[in-house]
Copies of this chain bind each other. A is one copy, B any other.
Amino acid sequence: MPHAVKRAVVLLSGGLDSATCLWWAKSRGYVPTALSVRYGQRHAKELGSARRLARRAGAALHEAALGLPWLKTSSLVDRKKVLPELPLSKIGVGGVPSTYVPGRNTMFVALGLSLADAIGAEAVVVGANALDYSGYPDCRPAFYAAFGKVARLGTARGASGRRLAVLAPLVKLDKAAIVRLARRLKVPLELTWSCYAGGRRPCGRCDSCKLRAKGFAVAGAPDPAL
């Protein structure tokens, strides 16, 4: 009897973490379907990275578009706002930063569950991590555990007793561990884009660039995207 296909929806922003999740899903035997989301982010660079990564991984890519006017409260959406440039030691410790997009991961996981329910996937994989992160509330393990219950109760698939899990495989890893995992999984890191600004090259000054640089430095590896 042929082995049943295990499908997973992987939320793919185009950054280091979500790309690592895409290859992680493959390594765990899932046939991945990537999901990227336009929500009015400052720049489309990461969406281009998501496309290239999905193609390289041989994964189908769904692009969702959200028109949510109230997200302008975030500096990651409103181009008129200034992106924070904190020293590394201050990132993630001073409360929720201006780059926080209200309820973003809640919405993204919900979209992932919708897609999973539509295509018969048994997992939604999200690249959140709670160690080297910017201080967002929706990056913590308990949040994903709670969403697992929502998935089981609120989808046709889950309600019928079939598996539909919310997986955050990086949630307890620091950036260096993610870089090491990505290298072991042969993620094409040169295709990833983490910078909050949308310049030709990563800015090196935003929270995301600094956390990424620290990850590569601690892992003792060069960043092939630089």
A216–B121 CA distance with the chains assembled, in angstroms: 40
Q: Find the residue from A113, A118, A142 having the highest chain B CB count within 10 A.
A: A118
Instruction: State which residues 102-128 of A face B: CB under 8 Å.
Output: 102-107, 109-111, 113-119
Determine if B137 and A143 form an interchain contact, defined as CB atoms under 8 angstroms apart: no
Is A64's CB within 8 Å of the partner chain B?
yes
Determine if A65 and B67 form an interchain contact, defined as CB atoms under 8 angstroms apart: yes
Other-chain contact of A153, B73, B95, B142, B156 (Cβ < 8 Å) = B142
Q: Find the residue from A64, A67, A155 having the highest chain B CB count within 10 A.
A: A155
Is A205's CB within 8 Å of the partner chain B?
no
- Which one, A81-89, A144-152, A172-180, A192-200, is touching chain B? A144-152
Is A26's CB within 8 Å of the partner chain B?
no
A24-47 interface code vs B (CB 8 A; 1 in, 0 out): 000000000000000000000000
Which residues does chain B contribute within 8 Å of A65, judged by CB atoms? Answer: 65-67
A-B contact list, 7 entries, CB within 8 Å: A66-B67, A70-B114, A103-B155, A104-B114, A106-B113, A137-B154, A137-B159
Q: Which 4 A-B pairs have the closest CB atoms?
A: A103-B114, A137-B159, A65-B67, A110-B110
